[in-house]
Amino acid sequence: MGAALLDAPTLAALMCSRLCHDLVAPVSAVKNALEVYNDPSMPDSREQALKVIDQAAASAAAKLEFLRIAFGAAGLGDHSADPDEAGRVAERFFAAMKPELQWRTSSLQPPLTFVRLMYNLALIALDALPRGGVVEVDLAEKDGYLEATVKSTGPKAAMRSTTMAALRGELPEGGYDGRSVQQYFTGVVAASIGADLNAREGEDMVELIARLKVQG
Give this prediction's pTM. Answer: 0.93
Spatial separation of the C-alpha atoms in residues 37 and 155, rounded to whole Å: 39
Question: Stretch 123-150: mean pLDDT, rounded?
Answer: 95
Question: Stretch 162-179: mean pLDDT, rounded?
Answer: 84
Spatial separation of the C-alpha atoms in residues 135 and 128, rounded to whole Å: 10
User: Tens digit of pLDDT for each residue in 195-214?
Assistant: 999 999 999 999 999 999 99
Q: What is the pLDDT of residue 174?
A: 82
Question: Residue 154: is its pLDDT beyond 50?
Answer: yes
**Which CATH superfamily does the domain covering 8-213 fall into?**
Histidine kinase-like ATPase, C-terminal domain (3.30.565.10)
User: Tens digit of pLDDT for each residue in 34-45?
Assistant: 999 999 999 899
Give the CB-side neighbour count of residue 1, counting CA atoms within 13 A.
Answer: 27
The ranges assigned to domains in the chain are: 8-213
Question: Stretch 142-167: mean pLDDT, rounded?
Answer: 92
Q: What is the pLDDT of residue 216?
A: 63
